[in-house]
Amino acid sequence: MSFLVRDAVVYFGLIFGIVFHEVAHAYVAYRFGDLTPKFNKRLSFNPLRHLDILGTLAFFIFRIGWAKPVLIDERYLRTRHALAVPAVILAGPLVNLFVSIVFGYAALVLDQQLLVLIALINFYLAFFNLLPFPPLDGGRLVVYVLDYFRISPRVASFLEKYGIWLLVIFLALGFWTRLSTLIMGLWGRIVTLLFSPILH
């Protein structure tokens, strides 16, 4: 596989995963009755609705970046259902996991390494977004739980204020690189567990 083809697949996998991730947030919020994503045209699969210019450039240069956040009205969602906000937050990573499983299965059936790359990228996207640092989904979920159950408003406030810097430190110290190795092993085990009985 040439570097050009591999890089093209990586970027396609990133954009594909990001778009589905953001649409999942928007759709679940919309299904719970929040019209904000619809007004902001975030229910579309058009990548231009979701990609941030600087975040996209960062993806191409550093292989890490960000998309436009899906704006939701948490006050409205809280009145609809206690699990509405967590459902919206988790929708993105869960969709990335689903996409990873689909492409993982297709890669095994068709014996295509390119599809393996897309599956892995979506798997990494899911777990990266579950890191407990706002504005990532995992951090937003931690803040929501702390705030909803009134466990520690100070910690929630600290995470909201300094979460992005904690994430930068986490990445700079190489913790994500170490965690990625474990994620790769986990992906392999999940694929083996799910698909070995089918393929044999």
Per-residue 3-state assignment (H helix, E strand, C coil) for the chain: CCHHHHHHHHHHHHHHHHHHHHHHHHHHHHHCCCCHHHHCCCCCCCHHHCECHHHHHHHHHHCCCCECCCCCCHHHHHHHCCCHHHHHHHHHHHHHHHHHHHHHHHHHHHCCHHHHHHHHHHHHHHHHHCCCCCCCHHHHHHHHHHHHCCCCHHHHHHHHHHHHHHHHHHHHCCHHHHHHHHHHHHHHHHHHHHHHHHHC
Residue with tokens 């570097």: 3
Tell me if 53 sits within 8 A of 132, measured CB to CB.
no
Tell me if 72 sits within 8 A of 34, measured CB to CB.
yes
pLDDT digit of tens for each residue in the chain (200 aa)?
Answer: 567 777 788 888 888 999 999 999 999 999 998 999 999 999 999 998 998 888 888 877 776 778 999 999 887 787 777 889 999 999 999 999 999 989 988 887 787 778 888 998 999 999 999 999 999 999 999 999 998 888 888 899 999 999 999 999 999 898 988 888 888 888 777 777 776 665 55
pTM attached to this predicted model: 0.89
How many whole angstroms separate alpha carbon 167 and alpha carbon 64? 12
